[in-house]
Amino acid sequence: MSESPGVRRTAIDVAAAELSSLSPQDSAAARRLDAEAMADLGMPSILLMENAARAVADEARRLLGGGDVLVLAGKGNNGGDGLAMARFLSPHVRVALVDEPTTADAALQLAMLRAAHIPVHVAADAERLTELADRADVIVDALIGTGLWSPPRGAVADWIRWANDAAQSVVAVDLPSGLSADTGEAFDPCIRAGVTVTFARPKLGLLERDGPAHAGRVVVATLGLPEDWVEGRD
């Protein structure tokens, strides 16, 4: 898949014969990129989260057929991305949160939703999730990000299984919950997404082992970082 001079690819499809020239990252490299963006460029982490959320919201909108989006949000910063995108999608959004956030940025996103009177349903059971999904065309998986090292457990595992059984299309934030960002191993359970929106660079696990089967179409979205600056760190 050739590129014209001066044209930069912004998305890849793992089913294509050739992948983008974008260098994949493991979880450590992704964390390092975020840290360097904050330290070298002065970009606050909440701005990176906002930019990620806007990209996922844009992709979810493309899949809407007149219904809503149901966001499944975890406790960490991946969940914070999901909470942030709910503001961009309101009023055509419903939000389910596994539990109260454990990071400052995700907590701030939740506080903004509550201040805006956007309902957030915490610790919903499967019956409640089904009710929330009643008018949804799309489910957003914002449960677990790159920090996964073992199979999902508890409510997160239950929500993953529920999402895999649902009829709606699933859009995963950064990578499908339950997939190793480093090896591409799909733990049990693991989201099967139709689309995965990852950021700045594809995560290595999206391209290896079980990754392609669980990620679906992979879109690489900008975090608002200058591309030349990112390339200098590949």
pLDDT the model gives residue 20: 57
The answer to whether residues 173 and 140 touch, using CB atoms and an 8 Å cutoff, is: yes
Nearest to 219 by CA among 175, 161, 165, 179: 175
Band (227; pLDDT cuts 50, 70, 90)? confident
Q: How far apart are CA 172 and CA 205, in angstroms?
A: 13
For residue 61, the tally of other CB atoms under 10 A from its CB is 13
Q: How far apart are CA 55 and CA 117, in angstroms?
A: 23
Q: How large is the average pLDDT for residues 33-39?
A: 96
pLDDT the model gives residue 17: 35
Looking at the domain covering 27-231, what would its CATH class be? Answer: alpha beta
**What percentage of the chain carries pLDDT values higher than 70?**
91
Q: How far apart are CA 72 and CA 59, in angstroms?
A: 16
Query: Residue ranges of the alpha helices (H) in the chain?
Result: 27-40, 45-63, 77-89, 104-115, 126-132, 154-165, 211-215, 227-231
Q: Give me the residue spans of the domains in the chain.
A: 27-231
pTM greater than 0.85: yes
Band (23; pLDDT cuts 50, 70, 90)? confident
Instruction: Give residue for tokens 């008018």.
Output: 135
List, for residues 121-152, the tens digit of each pLDDT value.
Answer: 999 999 999 999 999 999 999 999 998 999 99
List, for residues 151-176, the tens digit of each pLDDT value.
Answer: 999 999 999 999 999 999 999 999 99
pLDDT(1) > 50: no
pLDDT(8) > 70: no
The answer to whether residues 203 and 219 touch, using CB atoms and an 8 Å cutoff, is: no
Band (13; pLDDT cuts 50, 70, 90)? low
Instruction: Give residue for tokens 């998305």.
Output: 11
Pick from 12-16, 37-41, 162-166, 194-198: least confident: 12-16
pLDDT(207) > 80: yes
Residue burial 196-228, b: 16+ Cβ < 10 Å; e: rest = bbbbbbbbbbbbbebbeebbbbbbbbebbbeee
Nearest to 125 by CA among 158, 165, 153: 158
SS3 115: helix
Q: How far apart are CA 174 and CA 81, in angstroms?
A: 10
pLDDT the model gives residue 118: 97
